[in-house]
Structure 1
Amino acid sequence: MTFCARVMGIVFGTLMLLLAVLITIETLIRKFFSLSFGGIDELGGYAIAVAAPLAFGVAMIEQSHIRINLLHMRLPTAVKAVLNALAALSLGLLAAFLLYFTAHTVLETHDYRSIAQTPWATPLIYPQAVWLVAMSIFAVSAAVLSLKALLLLIKRDWPALNQRFGPASASEELEAELFDLKQREEGAQP
């Protein structure tokens, strides 16, 4: 799953960097030459639609989403484990709903042969098909993690549930940050 998260993160980052470069070029061309490509906003919408589910998947796999665990850390181990499992399962249900909504939208677009109401008049089936692929990747990742959480819940393996699906403690977060800092410092040295 870590490899999958890394690939999704690279694709997400690449899309956002390309979008930033295109927006910068568009802005400079408008400023200095009074010209426009007339569709960068359209491309931006497509990039965000594809990148968002990839970012969701990375945050889910890497457990890098923000959690406020003030109450959570004071609960008994079994209660924490059940709550962590419920969080993973509810995220899996959300991903399934989003996939259903995305597939429904793509099928409607196909049926109506919808085009973008922009200067490019892009047939929406193409960018929406890529959106569907990205959402499918997120949904499959969420389903795999939900299944793992459910199996651990059925086995009542509280330590494993808390380890895999629980928020990191302050000391674990500090340790991870120090490790990242060390990696960056080693990478910067000739």
Structure 2
Amino acid sequence: MQSYSRLCAVVFGLMMTALCVVIAVETVLRKLFNHSLAGVDELSGYAIAVGAPLCFAVAAAEQSHIRINLLHMRMPRGMKAAMNLVAALTLALLALYLLTFTYRTVQETRLFGSVAQTPWMTPLIWPQAAWLAGMAVFTLGTVVLAGRALLAALTGDTATLVRDFGPDSVEEELAQELSDLEARA
């Protein structure tokens, strides 16, 4: 899952870097030459639509989504394992629902030949197809994680459910931050 997470993060980073370059060029053109590329805001929206599922995928793979650790760290091991299983399964169900919604939206766009109400009049099937691909990447990751969690639960492997699917303890987070600090120094 680490290479999956890294790939999603790199793709997102490259998209955002390219978007920043386009915004900078747009700003310079406006200020110095009184000219606009017209549509940079449209590109920004598309980048967010595609980038958001990639960020969701990274958060799921890295187990870095928000949790209420105060309650989680006080639970007995079995309860932690059960809660982590429920979290993995419900996240996969949410991803499947979002993928279904995105797919239906793309199909409707294709059916009607919808275009953006912007100066570029972009056929919406293009950015929505990229959005669908991003959502599929997110869904694939969550389904794999849910499958691993379910397998651990069925085999009675509560240690894996607690270790791999739970939030880091305060000590683990501190150790990770100190390790990152040493790597940067």
TM-score (norm 1): 0.94
Residue identity matched to 1:41: D
Deviation at 1:167, TM superposition (A): 0.4
Match of 1:28 in 2: 28
Q: 1:40-189 to 2 correspondence within 5 Å?
A: 40-185=40-185
Match of 1:11 in 2: 11
Distance (whole Å) between structure 2 residues aligned to residue 173 and residue 61 of structure 1: 16
C-alpha distance after superposition, 1:128-174 (max 9, x if no partner): 11111111111011100011111112222111101010000011011
Distance (whole Å) between structure 1 residues aligned to residue 128 and residue 183 of structure 2: 38
Deviation at 1:87, TM superposition (A): 0.5
Deviation at 1:24, TM superposition (A): 2.1
Distance (whole Å) between structure 2 residues aligned to residue 138 and residue 23 of structure 1: 27
Residue identity matched to 1:123: P
Residue identity matched to 1:68: I
- Structure 1 window deviating more from structure 2 (131-140 vs 20-29): it is 20-29
SS at 2:69 equivalent: coil
SS at 1:138 equivalent: helix
Distance (whole Å) between structure 2 residues aligned to residue 135 and residue 47 of structure 1: 13
Distance (whole Å) between structure 1 residues aligned to residue 153 and residue 31 of structure 2: 58
Deviation at 1:122, TM superposition (A): 0.8
Residue identity matched to 1:33: F
Structure 1, unaligned stretches of length 5 or more? 186-190
Match of 1:188 in 2: none
Distance (whole Å) between structure 2 residues aligned to residue 96 and residue 41 of structure 1: 29
Aligned-CA RMSD value: 1.0
SS at 1:38 equivalent: coil
Structure 2, unaligned stretches of length 5 or more? none
Total equivalences in the alignment: 185
Identical counterparts, % of pairs: 54
Superposed structure 1 runs of 4+ greater than 6 Å apart: none
Deviation at 1:32, TM superposition (A): 2.5
Distance (whole Å) between structure 1 residues aligned to residue 123 and residue 71 of structure 2: 49
Distance (whole Å) between structure 1 residues aligned to residue 66 and residue 19 of structure 2: 26
SS at 2:119 equivalent: coil
